[in-house]
Structures are given as structure tokens and as C-alpha cells.
Structure 1
Amino acid sequence: MQSKIKAELRPENQLQQLIEQHYPAVKTAGFHLSPVAGLTGQSWKIASPAGDMLARHQSAERRNSGVERQREHAILRHIARQSLGPCVRLSSSPWLLVEWIAGTPLSDAAFVSTAGQKAVSQSLAKLHRQALSGYPLDLHRQFARYWQHVDPRRLTPRWLALHQKMMRRKLPVPLKMALLHMDIHAGNLLETEKGLRIIDWEYAADGDTALEIAALIRGNGLDLYQQDAFIREYAEAGGYPDLSLFRQQINRWLPWVDYLMLLWFEVRWAQTADKKYSEWAQPLRVRLFGRVHD
């Protein structure tokens, strides 16, 4: 009996029931679910007569990682006419079903190439011209949320000092507020017949455009030459025009991005015990803990 209940509660079983409820034709024609690989998982590709879709689940684990499908749903609706991200097909808690975008993920080499930087810059500049979504990014609140889910065995007095410092510290005054994606990397960019499309909008929110570029720089490990090239391409595409001021603002945001990434990696390590998250966090620990007394 218990095994039957557990089976009924499995996300894929819930998803199957949801699709049959909202797409009755699928009952007779059949459909296929397959898990989608990624850093966070809990997504399924749906191949069906109703068209291919991506189903994104809202679990407690994902919520602890800062994901809110309701916010993601609203933001995707907000940019629906811009062909930047996928279209929403169905929203029914705890599920968000979006268009499956057929395309090829950008390679790491293509991402840092001249053509790749130009295409990514154009997409970001277009995104940053959109009206604000009404979902501001609150980094202090995000830090506090992540802190609650870090493995306490990994906390040290030095880390506590760093956390208290970051929580007291005032955020940089924004240069330009816009809708941000906040997870731009090669795997979230698809080359399609209609151009570059951006996927995985679960961390999107309103914030300073320099924060977006700081997150892109850190998240992709860009060296100084690549950073300069990208910032110039972004300006050419209609991004912030004052390169000197924009670089200064990006540098102000870098410690904030470092700490955000450190906490996220640590939360994911606590959730999964996957050593890669701990390994990715280590360089950030070295960089940040040296700044505790700066």
C-alpha cells in the first residue's frame, strides 16, 4: 500500500495526470516523458501530439535554491512577444510547462568567440530594454535564505564573519535597472533557426544590468581579455554606453556575485552530497575569505 502511495506521489506520475487532464487527446494518442539532464534536474521533456514541451517542477528543494515557478511563469509571460525565451503552455502548481525549443546549445568555445559574444550581447541588450517585471532581486534576502540551508558542519567563524559582513553591507547603487536572466552560460543559450534563444529563466528578476554582466563574467570564468571584449560588444549592441563607468560598476558587483555563487554551491552540496559543488565552491571560499577584513 505504501509503495503504491509513493508511486502516486512521484513527480512524473503527477505530471502524467496533469497532462491527461489538460490534454485529453493525449490519453488515446499516447505521450512520452524523459528526464532532462542539468545541474538542478527536476525537469522533463514531454513528447506528445500536443507538441513537445518542457515540464519544470517546483519542489521544496528547488524553492530552497531560490526558484519560484510562479515568478518564472510571470516573467516568461512578460517577455512572450520578444522571442527571447520559451512560451508558457500551462501553469498548474507545482508544475510549469513551457515550449520545448528545438536547437543546439552553444558550445563553450562558441560562447567566447567573437561571433558568440556578439550574439549573446545582442540578446542581453534586447532583454535589458524590456520593461521591469515587478520581481526585484533582493540579494540580502537570497543570502539569508541560502544560509538556512547550508550544511552547518561546514560553517566556520570566518565564514560567519563574512556572512554578517555581506548582510550589513549596502548594495551598489544601480546604474540601470532592467529585467535580468542571471544564469547566462553556454548551456542556457540555444542556436535555433530563428536565432539565439535563452532558456532556464528560473532565477530571472529585476536588477542592475552591471550585476548581470558580473554574474556572466564569474559564471563563465572569463579572463580580462574576454571580459573587455564582451563589455565592448554589449555596449555596441545597445548596452551601457560609458565603458569606464560600467566596468567600475561590474567590479562593485563581483564580490556579491562571488558570495551568491558560494552559497548556491553549498546549498546544492547539502542537498545532493555531489562533490562537484564543493569543488566549485572552494575557489570562491579562497577568494572571499581573504576579503573578510577588507
Structure 2
Amino acid sequence: MADYKHFDCDLLIALPDTELISACELTGGLTNRCWKLALFHPSIKQTKQYVWRPFSISAQAFGIERQHEYQLLSLIADTKLAPQPLQLVVSTDKPTPQVIGLVVEWLSGVEATTTFSDQSLCQLQAKVHQLPLPWWRLDVHQRAKHYWQHLHTDHHTSSLVSIYHFFQSQPLPVAFDDCCCHFDLGRYNVIVPSINTDTIASAKIIDWEYAAAGDPSLDLAMTIIANELDIEQVVNDYCDYRALINDETVFNKQQWLAAVIAWQPWCQYLALLWYLVGYDIWQQPEYLRQASQLQQQLIEYINNC
């Protein structure tokens, strides 16, 4: 029997046809501290594995909406590209019902490594961009403002204030029509059957909490940074695959390359604020180190503008 001192079993009381067998905290997630659950379903006499994704203080600070995550996972359920959602859990013991978490299926397999090639990752990115369009979108200015409002004022140095005002006053480099974007497609969010797998046919993507409609070149820029990929090679592979699946003979690679490059400092800007918010929540020195490095890069970028 698992230790439930940090997990409230009553949270799942609203789930039909389920009995909680065990719960254990998952490690490795940055935005959340999720739980792996074993739930018994009396109607089919089977025990299945799930993940409890709470709406927590950290989720609120990072602007996560569990109902959006649930709606998108439900929308793309037939694609088999993501975990199947079981249920959005809503608390009704308050005057206004509140979302308290989301239960999704547990995906068996392993986290992708570099054995899952850069080209396969690009193809997976292109598949995401073909999914149905969510009805909410990422507004970078608004997301940065949200992070800023959740920062401790100790972080408001003259350098950070200058960076914030610079980017908030600049127009966004939007290049393409909105599509479905994951906005966190690192290999750490790709699940494959085995460590030697190098095909997108059986790959699945987890952690759709940041997913939204948005410029696909911004999503691609985030993927490049998250996986430390070669920009030109990735854009080339991505465009080739998009042209193939869209049956297009021309896909302007130079336009895509310029768009991805234009988005890179914006990705660093969001990451800087994200790490500072994360440090305020978890007090991990590594978050400050990452933030300091990004801040220096952005100061140099602004000085060269």
C-alpha cells in the first residue's frame, strides 16, 4: 500500500467505476508533481494505471488550465498520439465548482533518447501541427505578463526590468497561421516502446499542459532549444516532411528558417521568466543558474538590436 500522506484519496471520489489501489509520486516533471495511480474498475474487473495531474499552486503560477488540457486530449483521442483522458475532476464542495485535477492513462514505454533521431522528432512535430486547432491560443505577451505577476519582487533587478519592458513593447514576429502546438516537445515528453526505437509510428507525446493554438514556427523554435538541435537541419527536415504530408511541391525553407530564428529570443525570454517563477516555488539553485545564463544572453541580444 502506498504512502498517501501527500495524496488525498477523496479527490477521486467523483470517478465512476473506480477503486484506488495505490498511488506513488512521479519524479522528473518540472511544472508539476504528478502521481501514478492504480485504479480498479469493478465493471470490467481490471486494474489499470493512470496519472493524476493536479491543478496545483505551480500549475496556477505557470498559467496551466487543466480543462484546456482535457479538452485537447479528448479532441485528439482518435489519433493515438497522446494519453487518453479518463476524467476532469471538479470539486463541488464550494459555491463555485473548481477544477482540481485531471486523470489520464499511463503510457507504458520509456522516455525517448537521442536514439530517437532528430529527423523523427521533426516528423513528430509536423504531426502535431496537423492536429485539430484548439480554441485557445498562446499569446506570448500575455504569458510573459502572467509569469511577471507571479515573480517575487526580489527578482525585479534593473536588468530584468529592462528585458521585460523591451520584449513587452516589441511586436511579436508571427509568421504563419495558427495551428495546434505542443510548446514543450522535448524528448523527455516523448514515450517510445524501447530505448532503441527510432520511428514515429509508435511514439506518443505526454504533458500537453502548455499546448495551444499558435504560430508553428514558434513551436519549432521551442523544440529546437529544448533538444539542442541544429536549426538549419531541423528546419530543412521539418519542411521536407510537411511538404510530403501536405502534398505540396514548394515549402519555403528560407521563410521558415527566418521565422524560427526570429522567435528564438522570445523563447529565451519566456524561459527566463519561467525559471524564476519555478525558483520561487521550489527554491532549486539550478533554476537560478539557468535564469542567470538566459538573462545574460538576452542583455547581449538587446544591446545588439
Corresponding residue number in structure 2 for 1:126:
127
Q: Is the 8 A contact 1:84 1:123 kept in 2?
A: no
Q: Pick from 52, 57, 71: which aligns with 2:68?
A: 71
Q: Which residue of 1 aligns with 2:221?
A: 214
* Equivalent residue letter for 2:162: A
Please list the CA deviations of residues 35-77 of structure 1 after superposition, one character each: whole Å capped at 9, or x if unmatched.
1112233211111223111110001321111211011111111
Shift of 1:25: 5.1
Question: What does 1:236-255 align with in structure 2 at a 5 Å threshold?
Answer: 236-238=240-242, 241-255=251-265
* 3-state SS in 1 of match to 2:141: helix
Q: Which residue of 1 aligns with 2:176?
A: 175
3-state DSSP of counterpart to 1:49:
strand
Q: Aligned residue for 1:33?
A: 23
| Identity across the alignment (%) | 27
Count of residues in correspondence between the two structures: 274
SS in 2 for 1:175: coil
What is the identity, as a one-letter code, of the residue corresponding to 1:12? F
Aligned AA for 2:241?
A: A
Q: Flag the 1:11–1:133 CA change in 2: closer, same or farther, 3 A.
A: farther
Cα offsets for 1:131-159 (capped at 9, x unmatched): 31111111111111101122322221122
Q: What is the root-mean-square deviation in Å for CA atoms of aligned residues?
A: 2.1
2:284 matched to which residue of 1? 274
Structure-2 residue corresponding to 1:257? 267
Counterpart secondary structure, 1:119: helix
Deviation per CA, 1:76-116, whole angstroms, max 9, x where unpaired?
Answer: 11211111111110111211001111111011x224xxxx2
State the match for 1:4 in structure 2.
none
CA distance in 2 between counterparts of 1:20 and 1:176 reads: 42
Q: Is the 8 A contact 1:158 1:292 kept in 2?
A: no
Q: CA deviation at 1:21?
A: 4.1
Alignment of 1:15-94 (within 5 A): 16-24=9-17, 26=19, 31-37=21-27, 38-50=29-41, 51-92=48-89, 93-94=99-100
Q: Is the CA contact 1:161–1:292 (under 8 Å) kept in the aligned structure 2?
A: no
Amino acid at match of 2:77: A
Shift of 1:189: 0.3
TM-score (norm: length of structure 2):
0.84
Preserved contact between residue 45 and residue 100 of structure 1 (Cα < 8 Å): yes
User: Which of these residues, 7, 10, 24, is aligned with residue 12 of structure 1?
Assistant: 7
Q: Which runs of 5+ in 2 are unaligned?
A: 42-47, 90-98, 195-200, 244-249
Look up the equivalent residue of 1:68 and give its one-letter code.
Answer: E
In the alignment, which residue of structure 1 is the partner of 2:294?
A: 284
Which aligned runs of 4 or more in structure 1 are off by greater than 6 angstroms?
none
The CA deviation at 1:232 is: 2.0
Consecutive unaligned residues of structure 1, counting only runs of 5 or more, are: 1-7
* DSSP-derived class of the 1:195 partner: coil
Contact residue 213 and residue 250 of structure 1 kept, 8 A: yes
Offset from partner CA, 1:178-237 (integer Å, 9 cap, x none): 110000111100103861100000100111110011111122223xxx322222221222
Matches within 5 A, 1:213-232: 213-222=220-229, 226-232=230-236
